[in-house]
Amino acid sequence: MSEFTIIDAIEDPKLFRPLFKDLGTWAAWIAFLRAVFALPMTPAELEVYRQCTGREKPSAKPPSEVFAIVGRRGGKSFISAVSACYLALFHDWRLYLAAGETAWILVIATDREQARNILGYIKGILGSSRMLNREVEKDLTWEIGLKNGVGIKIGTCSFRALRGYTIVSAIADELAYWRSEGSNPAQEVLTAIRPAMATVPGSKLIGISSPYGKTGPLYEAFRDKYGQADEEVLIWKAPTRVMNPTIREAVIERAIKEDNAAARAEWLAEFREDLETYLPTEMIESVIVPGRYELPRIAGADYRAFCDPSGGRADSFSLAIAHKDEKTGRIVLDRMADKAPPFRPQDVVAEYAEILKSFGIGSISGDKYAGEWVAAAFRDQGIMFQSAEKTKSEIYLEFEPMVAQGIVELLDHKKLFNQLRGLERRTRSGGRDSVDHYPGGHDDLANSVAGVCVMAKGSGDGPRVWSLGPAKWPGVSEGAQHIRLMGQWPDWVLKR
């Protein structure tokens, strides 16, 4: 196919035009694409350009990097797919390739579900007309090969998977939400992409995302480049209704009333003011003891235990054990366990009970919202379960100064490090801040560790449970020989 503009392809009834039911509602995206490919604009499109870029006039040269910060339901994924298909079909990359080499268009999404959504758009576009469909040579699960030597590959945000490719274009979908194992690898992915594009003139990096917190390369690009007359980098920022006027204003107004901070990010394309990093990476690293993965039991130490039972199909069941060093006053994390699904909860409880008994621990605390099955399962193993009095956020807020003051010693564990690094602190008006994992993330292990460290710090305060050692009463198992400080047997022990 001969090369012609993306606007030509969109307006051609044999190509992309049937995909746009009402082309008038895509006017802002047409202006965006004209800016991306340095095409002439109408006065109306120029006004949209000024509104969304903070610039007075477009560059005569196509930018090599474009970041579009657009509200939810603005049409981002569809435009990503259209751009990928255009760059794959209507640009001759063979001049920059060795014999037999493939030019890759990478569409990188936050996760498999989002990637599958974009792949559906791309396959729908290529299958929408005979002219487009006959260019497809192979159609695999996550990859499409074209007869012109170009491949379209759908992937998730992993910088390790990008090496070895000659990339002629990369489209980073929902860049602000790229997460992996509790960290944000967006910068690492972009760093891996750029060298792979360096040998291809006209290659293009396009990041399209709704905004989130004021961290990461998307926010940094906006902060440093928005409104700047930079020929290499273009920043486009627009609320949902600017890019998609079919969304009713009432929907957005209702969302703002329900959660102002979240709605302003999702619909108005404003970076959230209420989010900040819970613990800086350097602070977490300062309390991790390199090479220490677990510690043996110390005679006479007062051990505490905390668990975060699995709350769903994707959640882990975690355990942490710690003690307070009476000489230094430091809280030492001794042991962790983390069981990812699938598993039988009763089997995990039995395994954890053995670990607890090996440390001489007869009771354990856990998430205050844990189900009754947790207490019953530990009870069957001779371990008393107590729901934590504090909420998860309260525990994290108490754990934070402990880390900042350096009075904790954590084990060297990658998952724990990543989960702690992935926690976010949300500012609440008129109340205490909340701490939780990012959307789609997990903090099971971090919750258990924070919980047990807070417990160990408060050793000697409040109700406590003691083990009496070997069984002394018939019918009562060794693990069930527990009494509270006030000298009362729990009901479940009396029943036994």
- What pLDDT is recorded for position 169? 92
Average pLDDT rounded to a whole number, residues 129-139: 90
Pair 181, 69 in one domain: yes
Domain annotation covers residue 88: yes
**Domain end residue (candidates: 254, 273, 292):** 273
For residue 440, give the CATH number of its domain.
Answer: 3.30.420.240
Secondary structure, 3-state, the chain: CCCCCHHHHHHCCCCCHHHCCCHHHHHHHHHHHHHHCCCCCCHHHHHHHHHHHCCCCCCCCCCCEEEEEECCCCCHHHHHHHHHHHHHHCCCCHHHCCCCCCEEEEEEECCHHHHHHHHHHHHHHHCCCHHHHCCEEEECCCEEEECCCEEEEEEECCHHHHCCCCEEEEEEECHHHCCECCECCHHHHHHHHHHHHCCCCCCEEEEEECCCCCCHHHHHHHHHHCCCCCCCEEEEEECHHHHCCCCCHHHHHHHHHHCHHHHHHHHHCCCCCCEEECCCHHHHHHCECCCCCCCCCCCCCCEEEEEECCCCCCCCEEEEEEEECCCCCCEEEEEEEEECCCCCHHHHHHHHHHHHHHCCCCEEEECCCCCHHHHHHHHHCCCEEEECCCCHHHHHHHHHHHHHCCCEEECCCHHHHHHHHCEEEECCCCCCCEEEECCCCCCHHHHHHHHHHHHHHCCCCCCCEEECCCCCCCCCCHHHCEEECCCCCCHHHHHC
- What pLDDT is recorded for position 292? 97
Find, among 408, 445, 183, 397, the residue nearest to 287 by Cα: 408
**Domain end residue (candidates: 233, 256, 273):** 273
| pLDDT of 192 higher than 70 | yes
pLDDT band per the 50, 70, 90 thresholds, residue 144: very high
Pair 227, 311 in one domain: no
pLDDT band per the 50, 70, 90 thresholds, residue 463: very low
Order of all β-strands in the sheet with 363-366: 384-387, 363-366, 303-308, 317-324, 331-339, 408-409
Higher-confidence residue: 459 or 433?
433
Higher-confidence residue: 352 or 2?
352
Domain annotation covers residue 376: yes
Pair 259, 328 in one domain: no
> pLDDT (tens digit, 9 = 90+) per residue, 32-54?
999 999 999 999 999 999 999 99
Pair 409, 320 in one domain: yes
Q: Domain range spanning residue 61?
A: 6-273
Pair 252, 159 in one domain: yes
Average pLDDT rounded to a whole number, residues 398-410: 95
Q: Is the peptide bond before 296 cis (omega within 30 degrees of 0)?
A: no
| pLDDT of 270 higher than 90 | yes
Pair 201, 223 in one domain: yes
- Cα–Cα distance measured from residue 85 to residue 80, given in angstroms and rounded to the nearest whole number: 9
> pLDDT (tens digit, 9 = 90+) per residue, 71-84?
999 999 899 999 99
- What pLDDT is recorded for position 484? 32
Higher-confidence residue: 471 or 164?
164
Pair 301, 268 in one domain: no
For residue 126, give the CATH number of its domain.
Answer: 3.40.50.300
- For 384, the token pair is 């008393």
Average pLDDT rounded to a whole number, residues 157-172: 74
- For 69, the token pair is 């910060």
pLDDT band per the 50, 70, 90 thresholds, residue 280: confident
Domain annotation covers residue 488: no
Domain annotation covers residue 59: yes
Q: What b/e string do you get for 105-115 counting C-beta neighbours within 10 Å, with b at 16 or more?
A: bbbbbbeeebb
Domain annotation covers residue 228: yes
Share of the chain above pLDDT 90, in %: 58
- Cα–Cα distance measured from residue 268 to residue 147, given in angstroms and rounded to the nearest whole number: 41
Q: Considering just the CA atoms, what is the radius of gyration of the chain in Å? A: 28
Pair 205, 263 in one domain: yes
pLDDT band per the 50, 70, 90 thresholds, residue 87: very high
- Per-chain mean pLDDT for the chain: 85
Pair 285, 225 in one domain: no
Average pLDDT rounded to a whole number, residues 209-228: 92
Helix axes 186-197, 216-225, angle to 10 degrees: 70
Domain count of the chain? 2
- For 120, the token pair is 């559906």
Domain annotation covers residue 491: no
Average pLDDT rounded to a whole number, residues 447-454: 96
Pair 259, 290 in one domain: no
| pLDDT of 185 higher than 90 | no
Domain annotation covers residue 120: yes
Domain annotation covers residue 130: yes
Pair 378, 256 in one domain: no
Indicate the pTM of the whole model: 0.71
Find, among 135, 123, 106, the residue nearest to 19 by Cα: 123
**Domain end residue (candidates: 273, 300, 332):** 273
How deeply is 332 buried, as exposed, middle or buried, from its count of CB atoms within 10 A (0-12, 13-18, 19+)?
buried
> pLDDT (tens digit, 9 = 90+) per residue, 304-330?
999 998 755 668 899 999 999 999 999
Pair 268, 286 in one domain: no
> pLDDT (tens digit, 9 = 90+) per residue, 345-394?
899 999 999 999 999 999 999 976 666 888 999 999 999 999 888 889 99
pLDDT band per the 50, 70, 90 thresholds, residue 473: very low
Find, among 469, 333, 344, the residue nearest to 399 by Cα: 333
**CA–CA distance from 434 to each of 216, 256, 423 (Å)?**
21, 20, 10
